[in-house]
Structure 1
Amino acid sequence: PPPPPPPPPPPPPPVVVQDVEVVEDDKEEDDISLEVNEDTVIVIDIPDEEPEIEIDAIADIVEEKAEYPGGQSALLAWLNKNIEYPEIAAESNIQGRVFVQFVVEKDGSISDVKTIGKVPHKALGKEAVKKVKRIPGKWTPGKNNGKAVRSYFKLPVMFRLK
């Protein structure tokens, strides 16, 4: 047998470029003197109440849940009337529940519509998201401490062949 080939040559050492730029920083600082004596009064202003910090986080838990105008029954009636069974899922006899999650904003609009969990068929998930995005009307937003907050809403959409 022929002898093994020689090992490859070692890689060349990295080229290190040292560019040092000297910056002149001869700026003179102004001397500040502060004279304090017994008659000097120092006042520190502390506000009586803490400023309210606006947090735009999405609340997982709310005191009052977001609600569709007319309630859950009106929402389900609209979905039942408007959801179209995807042909490919119907031909394959695919049925099941799709969970759609979205955010009900402070102004009652909805955003960030998506499916969560296992979806029986991609076409069912797509149809559920498409129709939820088209739900008409403004929601009553969820509330914490009497104030409207952004909150998640989870909606099960059932696809059943008749």
Structure 2
Amino acid sequence: MKKQYYFLLAFLLLGLSQFALAQVPPPPPVKPAPPLVVAFTETKAQPVGGFNNFYRFIHQNLRYPDLAYNLGVEGRVYVEFVVEKDGSLSQFEVVKRLGSGCDEEAVRVLRTSPRWAPGTQAGRKIRSKFVIPVRFDIRR
């Protein structure tokens, strides 16, 4: 008679363990790592047409914020961004602020920038970081 109880107990434990295992949720999916962004590349990213044309573009499209103009604010805003593999600019971040609307204006102009020639590493296009100073000078 005791053998029947042991058999029944073992059967119940096995059945409960299978039920408990079936209730465990699956692990969350692993997100792929974002593409690598490199600060230093073999061939540096640069604006198509060169930096002189790029700064001419900024100068022609930059609008001095009214608040900054009225307060006489002058200086440089440093904006960090990523040059993507296709040459577009993304992930803008102001690393040195000037305030009075200048930071937002610098990012706005850079967002409208023409595509760049991306940096390369081992002959392959690569995402790379870049920092650009945008100068605000009332006398311009």
| TM value normalised by structure 2 | 0.75
Q: Which runs of 5+ in 1 are unaligned?
A: 1-21, 27-53
Aligned alpha-carbon RMSD (Å): 1.9
Which residues in structure 2 correspond to 1:57-68 (within 5 Å)? 57-68=36-47
Q: Which runs of 4+ in 1 moved over 2 A?
A: none
Which residues in structure 2 correspond to 1:87-98 (within 5 Å)? 87-98=66-77
**Residues 65 and 100 of structure 2 are in contact (CA less than 8 Å); yes or no, is this contact kept in structure 1?**
no
Helix, strand or coil: the match of 1:94? coil
How many equivalent residue pairs?
Answer: 112
Give the whole-Å Cα distance in 2 for the aligned partners of 1:23 and 1:80.
Answer: 73
Q: 1:23 to 1:160 in 2, by over 3 A?
A: same
Taking CA–CA contacts closer than 8 Å with sequence separation of 6 or more, which of the two structures ends up with the larger relative contact order? 2
Instruction: Answer 1 or 2: which has greater helix percent.
Output: 2
Letter in structure 1 aligned against 2:60: K
1:150 to 105, 122, 127: 127
1:134 to 105, 112, 125: 112
Q: Which runs of 5+ in 2 are unaligned?
A: 1-14, 20-32
Determine if the alignment matches structure 1 residue 101 to structure 2 residue 80: yes
Corresponding residue of 1:84: 63
Identity of aligned residues (%): 32
Letter in structure 1 aligned against 2:119: G
Pairwise CA distance, 1:24: 4.4
